[in-house]
Amino acid sequence: MMDPALQQFLSERLKKKTSSAPNEAELQQELNDWLPTAVTKTHKLFRVTHPVKFSHPDVKNTSEIRVSAERKPDGFLRSGNVAVEPDMVFDTAANIPILKFLSLKLADGLSILAHLENDSDLVKQQLELPSLPYTDIRQGLLQINQLPDRTSTSDKIKQVYFPVDGGYHLLSLLTPSGLMFKLKERINSIRFAETTKQAREARRNQQHHDTGYQEFYGLTEIGFGGTKPQNISVLNNQNGGTAYLLPSLPPPLTLNKLQPPKTDFFLQSVYAKHFLEKFQALHALFQDNVPANIHVREGRDYWLFQIAEQVMETVWALRELPGGWSEHGQLPPTQKIWLDQDHAEQREQADDWLDAVIVALADWLAITYKHAIGERQAKALGDAELKHFRQLLDDHREVLR
């Protein structure tokens, strides 16, 4: 009895000839008439892994490529590491029925081509014809696995001439269509799976979903063959002439606004313009006609401490950087302890470094005040004021630690 898949294939062919449903004898006659002719044309069909027409649809008379590679756990997406069947190409669309015939899945799930390769009893039974012996049918149809013994290329294929030993190797970039469409199959199985649809619906309704779903951002579709995808390859035709491209971009770089100092924190990390308003408020109090007034003194101390706290914001930001950065510069040892997180334990256990930082910070306050206000307008600060700065900072030394 004829296999159902074979029956359907032949029935569709006979639909073009008669409107009535064909019987078993008519189907057998159609197979007997058509298959011997198809066998004679199979030498123009090829099973390949890298069809050249993906590079340019007008490429002709070039070498067909079918590579085989062993599967290895090397982590690469390459031939051999993904189980895919070879693609099929042909000289003219008129021979597409031959490819469909060879791809028919018989009752056991294997294709006619696979049965022919295995020389199974089932295919012998199905293809035993009066018009041509089975051995000739098998030999003729299996020519699809034989590639022409020629080496030729085309100027329409993207090519790179790679210098080797005074000459060149001609490298052509070809498309592994099996891998490409397997990728599309897997992406679609994730995007359009029933669980994915349920998870998306749950999200729209703001409901919890146990597994969630995966999303592919930046997915691009690429087309091959235009309105005639069948002219490129069988797999291309089966996929509607489109495949997916995943984004392959360098990682985005974010600007690091905080540059760690290399030689001196006070010169390279804290700038007068960032403290201008506070120094102006301090300057207004320095100009007060009653400087000994307690409210004036407290106001000056308030603004001095506000500036010191703003300095500490930069210190804390530097401590967020990966520890050890200060080893690549020439910072004073006390500033390394103060700023680099690798010295956190030393900061807690010792005080001598903190004394040096207080002196340096008090000096920076005096110098930066003059710079921010202007040398002519700024109040002349003497030893008494500098001593007061140091004392104020020392009173709040734990804030600076």
pLDDT digits over 134-162, tens only? 999 999 999 998 887 778 888 888 788 88
Q: Is the pLDDT of residue 292 over 70?
A: no
Given this model, what pLDDT does residue 100 score? 87
Q: Is the pLDDT of residue 165 over 70?
A: yes
pLDDT classification of 355: cutoffs 50, 70, 90? very high
Q: Pick the range with the lowest mean pLDDT from 5-19, 122-136, 300-314.
A: 5-19
pLDDT classification of 340: cutoffs 50, 70, 90? very high
pLDDT in tens, 193-219: 999 999 999 988 888 888 889 989 889
Q: CB within 8 A of 169, min separation 6: which ones?
A: 161, 162
pLDDT in tens, 27-52: 999 999 999 999 999 988 889 999 98
174, 50 Cβ separation under 8 angstroms: yes
Enter the pTM of the model. 0.58
379 is written with which tokens?
A: 């109040």
Q: CB within 8 A of 338, min separation 6: which ones?
A: 265, 315, 347, 353, 354, 357, 400
Given this model, what pLDDT does residue 293 score? 77
